[in-house]
Amino acid sequence: MSLLQSLSQRDRVFDFMVPQTSPVDVRHGPILYMEDVTVSFDGFKAINNLNLTINDGELRCIIGPNGAGKTTMMDIITGKTRPTSGSVWFGSRHNLLHMNEPDIASLGIGRKFQKPTVFEALSVFENLELAMAADKRIFPTLTARMTGEIKDRINEVLETIGLTELRHQPAGILSHGQKQWLEIGMLLMQRPRLLLVDEPVAGMTEQEMERTAELLTGLAGKQSVVVVEHDMGFVRSIARQVTVLHQGSVLAEGTMDQVSSDPKVIEVYLGADDEEAA
């Protein structure tokens, strides 16, 4: 059958329309395991012997002063940066250091950057439709018929991110917070097992921050969620377990009350405040 004949079959369900299931195996351990990871840039250690474990379904907050290594840590997990040494495993079978960025994403790791990137000329619904997992070739995207299962999935995500009433509105008219939720929804369409979220409430109103807290805490259990955030009030509102990074290493770990009362953490944050004031 020719390509054009294939495309003319409007009832064909293409591979990219079929929901994907992450093959990660967590039966014998955590979903993410980083051991003795170091990244050096011209002699400077952006990550210095980092050890971090994230459990399946966990919501973890990562905090730390500027330059602590938070962004570099996420770059390593997603394959953007290769460490100088150490190991990074996704489940018990997948060595992320042997995989490239697209393969890591298809494995079930999604990353939300600080600035939302949505297709502003398209509707909210269309943004979610385009975010479907797997085959993104242009012809299938333009010609495949949407199944009831896919519509149900989009409606489910719309409900999760609180944008059902705006489904037919262009994404460009959304508020900053709503665009953040839409991009999280686009990642959810790909059914990630691990979601990395970078400073999700920067620039949000108080009401939007409260809704974002509800969204992220609601995702925990269904996905593992790692949130990097500077707003300590927001972290306290969602945190179950907090990891504090400093100079590329784990400085402290525990509940928000535990880490906020840790003398080492207090010293680091007070020192960072003094430097900024100077």
H helix runs in 220-278, sequence order: 232-238, 256-260, 263-277
Q: Cα–Cα distance between 276 and 46 in angstroms, integer?
A: 20
Q: Cα–Cα distance between 47 and 31 in angstroms, integer?
A: 21
The predicted pLDDT at position 5 comes to 47
Q: Which of 12, 20, 22, 51 is nearest to 34 (CA)?
A: 51
Locate the domains of the chain by residue range: 3-28+57-76+109-277
3-state secondary structure of 203: coil
Q: Which two tokens stand for residue 64?
A: 């730390």
H helix runs in 78-123, sequence order: 101-107
Distances (CA, A) of 139 to 16, 143, 154, 248: 11, 6, 21, 44
Per-residue pLDDT of the chain (278 residues; tens, 9 = 90+): 444 444 344 444 444 444 444 567 667 679 999 999 999 998 899 999 999 999 999 999 999 998 999 999 999 999 999 999 999 999 989 999 999 999 999 999 999 988 888 999 999 999 999 987 544 544 455 445 567 788 899 999 999 999 999 999 999 999 999 999 999 999 999 999 999 999 999 999 999 999 999 999 999 999 999 999 999 999 999 999 999 999 999 999 999 999 999 999 999 876 655 455 44
108 torsion bin: left (phi>0), alpha (psi -120 to 50), beta (else): left
Q: Cα–Cα distance between 247 and 108 in angstroms, integer?
A: 29
The predicted pLDDT at position 42 comes to 87
CB 73 within 8 A of CB 246: no
Rg (CA), the chain: 20
The predicted pLDDT at position 7 comes to 39
The predicted pLDDT at position 132 comes to 78
The predicted pLDDT at position 3 comes to 41
3-state secondary structure of 62: strand
Q: Cα–Cα distance between 50 and 253 in angstroms, integer?
A: 13
φ, ψ (nearest 5 deg) of residue 179: -65, -35
Q: Cα–Cα distance between 92 and 75 in angstroms, integer?
A: 20
The predicted pLDDT at position 6 comes to 44
CATH no., domain 3-28+57-76+109-277: 3.40.50.300
CB 39 within 8 A of CB 46: yes
Q: Cα–Cα distance between 44 and 29 in angstroms, integer?
A: 32
Q: Cα–Cα distance between 253 and 66 in angstroms, integer?
A: 18
Q: Cα–Cα distance between 111 and 131 in angstroms, integer?
A: 13
